[in-house]
Structure 1
Amino acid sequence: MTLLKRKSIEAVASRRPAREHRDASRGNLNARQDSRQDPRHEARMKPRFAPVTFSEMDGVRYLHFGTEWVQGAMRLRKPDAIELEYAQQMMAWLLFQSPSVDDFHVVQLGLGAAALTKFCYRQFARAKVTAVELNPAVIVAGRSMFGLREDDARLTVREQDAWDFVMDSASTAAVDTLQVDLYDATARGPVLDTTAFYRACRRVLKTPGVMTINLFGDHESFPKNIVRICDAFDNRVLVFPEVHDGNIIAMAFNGPAIDVSWETLEARADVVEAATNLPARDWVKKLRAANANQEERLVI
């Protein structure tokens, strides 16, 4: 089966501090910002589910929503591994948090091919893992085509709108790590991207807590999302450089300020990499290079 995937975008060496994106974009966006801060006034999109389709190439199975855009992937010989680089970077919260404590709760908004959900469930034996997915066909695909197991005491897959999850008072301060990957069939901008949504994401986080989010750098949605995430998280945002297929992962922090040497983060990366086989050393290198004014120490 021929694989159709996102166009290849060569990574450009850049220094993309979230604060610079915020400052550069604010002037153009202020006029369009909705002055109503009450999230009950948010315009809601009616669900329009695209068909869930698949392709395979070179031993990798891909998830699509009826278009050429890749929505997730699984290497058939390593079904519990995280195949795509941007999805691996979604796990960079491991540099700042340890999921080996009781009651640690990881939530995924947008199931995709279930790579992150499966990985967290398998890797962190003491953690509770929740995935929130609106499209029931994606949940069926996760279980029938991508090896997602049935729910148990630690794993919960909820057929629910991500908006409803973050707005539910029961979710307040209930999540240690929030992983956000909410795209529709066109795979351009996140389907939930308002300041109110990002503020609600912050409210569900414990103290400390970390949100990682997948953004599409080669699209007009990117700068406005950086502005809104910075607004919601008081500028406590880091970004990775763009990867080859255009994705940019951002991390936003809730809780006490972080002031840590890069050497300490490198030591932590060694531990993470040894335990998970994720490229944590590369994460530290890229975060240090991509965020201005963070060359000597990470202070955020």
Structure 2
Amino acid sequence: MTLLKRKSIEAEASRRPARGARAQRRMAQGDGPDAEPREDKPARRGAQGDEKRMTPRFAPVTFSEMDGVRYLHFGTEWVQGAMRLRKPDAIELEYAQQMMAWLLFLSPSAPDFHVAQLGLGAAALTKFNHRQFSRARVTAVELNPAVIVAGRSMFGLREDDTRLRVLEQDAWDYVMDAAHTGSVDALQVDLYDATARGPVLDTTAFYRACRRVLKAPGVMTINLFGDHDSFPKNIVRICDAFDNRVLVFPEVHDGNVIALAFNGPVIDVSWEVLEARAKVVETTTRLPARDWVAKLRAANARQEERLRI
């Protein structure tokens, strides 16, 4: 079976024109004739304003293995996470590695550092953060109890301890809880259902709530859908919520695009400083951080000489 990597949105910083003719058409036309129809889903009214959010539907949690890699699925070919059996604590997929790009801007050794993951998947990011950063608190929020069971039985996720909490909870409720305001340094958002055709939570109210849970400084990384009509909507909403302070990686895995959104003081730094930071990240984590810097520099217009965001 040929596995299809889950796709995500292509984001653009500061609402810059989308890269590629297909993305430009969608930015211009929204739900135009070339947009893929999206299956209607029940919606619940958001806690703020009159925006609606989709109610996720649980699907069977299934697995496959190929070439030494175990994959998580929700009853379809779409990949919801992966783990290399010989390296269970490593992050296997490139887009998931890019979800760690907040390391270019934040130090997980800071006192009371807190990483929160919305959408557990195969627990790759949760496991990595818990193992790699011995001083950090790690929280994972997952609505589907079967995914939590799969993480622990099939993907090596440990039981909760003093630094690790896995919550069976709706991500919407987590970010809307006033008790979590300003409590998270790095927020990693990867929320998809069985169809994997766009984020389950994607309203402006949701993205504003994500910003509220961040400390200052704080960074959100989010897996978005690059080949779908949800693209322009999410771009506008994330930019609105984060005052256009958004960077984007080039597309990987036939559609996955990781965006970074920033809270707190303005960042004004040379790319050479970021490259030096990336070398430290590579040494300590073995993640391809220098490649992140090169791709962010190339992919974001008006940021070629110096990063100002």
Fold match, TM over 0.5? yes
Change over 3 Å in CA distance of 1:108–1:220 after alignment to 2: same
Change over 3 Å in CA distance of 1:18–1:58 after alignment to 2: farther
- Report how far residue 37 of structure 1 moved: 9.0
Percent identity reads 80
Q: Is the 8 A contact 1:259 1:297 kept in 2?
A: yes
Q: Distance in 1 between matches of 2:155 and 2:161?
A: 18
Q: Distance in 1 between matches of 2:153 and 2:90?
A: 17
Aligned pairs (5 A) from 1:83-232: 83-232=92-241
User: Residue type matched to 1:232 in 2?
Assistant: A
Q: Distance in 2 between matches of 1:15 and 1:138?
A: 27
Asked if 1:65 corresponds to 2:74, the answer is yes
- Report how far residue 220 of structure 1 moved: 1.1
Question: Could you say what the CA RMSD is over the residues aligned between the two structures, in angstroms?
Answer: 2.3
User: Residue type matched to 2:284 in 1?
Assistant: A
Task: Indicate the SS of the match to 1:126.
Answer: coil
Map Cα deviations across residues 65-93 of structure 1 (whole Å, 9 max, x no partner).
00110000000000000000000000000
- Report how far residue 43 of structure 1 moved: 2.6
Change over 3 Å in CA distance of 1:8–1:90 after alignment to 2: closer
Change over 3 Å in CA distance of 1:166–1:17 after alignment to 2: closer
Asked if 1:20 corresponds to 2:16, the answer is yes
- Report how far residue 45 of structure 1 moved: 3.4
- Unmatched tracts of structure 2, length 5 or more: 19-23, 31-44
Task: Indicate the SS of the match to 2:52.
Answer: coil
Q: Distance in 2 between matches of 1:237 and 1:160?
A: 27
Task: Indicate the SS of the match to 1:273.
Answer: helix
- Report how far residue 170 of structure 1 moved: 0.5
User: Residue type matched to 1:247 in 2?
Assistant: N
Q: Distance in 2 between matches of 1:8 and 1:256?
A: 32
User: Residue type matched to 1:19 in 2?
Assistant: R
Q: Which residue, out of 56, 76, 80, partners 2:65?
A: 56
Q: Is the 8 A contact 1:176 1:206 kept in 2?
A: yes
**Structure with higher RCO (Cα < 8 A, 6+ apart):** 2
Q: Distance in 2 between matches of 1:15 and 1:102?
A: 32
Q: Distance in 2 between matches of 1:55 and 1:271?
A: 35
Change over 3 Å in CA distance of 1:100–1:7 after alignment to 2: closer
Q: Distance in 2 between matches of 1:7 and 1:180?
A: 14
- Report how far residue 198 of structure 1 moved: 0.3
Task: Indicate the SS of the match to 1:163.
Answer: helix
Change over 3 Å in CA distance of 1:122–1:135 after alignment to 2: same
Q: Distance in 1 between matches of 2:2 and 2:135?
A: 37
- Report how far residue 3 of structure 1 moved: 5.1
Q: Is the 8 A contact 1:21 1:227 kept in 2?
A: no
Q: Is the 8 A contact 1:3 1:55 kept in 2?
A: no
- Report how far residue 235 of structure 1 moved: 0.4
Asked if 1:261 corresponds to 2:270, the answer is yes
Q: Distance in 2 between matches of 1:46 and 1:15?
A: 23
Q: Is the 8 A contact 1:15 1:291 kept in 2?
A: no
Task: Indicate the SS of the match to 1:100.
Answer: coil
Change over 3 Å in CA distance of 1:236–1:138 after alignment to 2: same
Map Cα deviations across residues 202-258 of structure 1 (whole Å, 9 max, x no partner).
000001000000001111111211111000000000000001331000000000000
Aligned equivalent of 1:4 = 3
Q: Distance in 2 between matches of 1:268 and 1:296?
A: 17
Aligned pairs (5 A) from 1:252-291: 252-291=261-300
TM-score using structure 1 length = 0.91
Change over 3 Å in CA distance of 1:149–1:214 after alignment to 2: same
Task: Indicate the SS of the match to 2:4.
Answer: coil
- Report how far residue 18 of structure 1 moved: 4.5
* Aligned length, in residue pairs: 289
Q: Distance in 2 between matches of 1:15 and 1:135?
A: 27
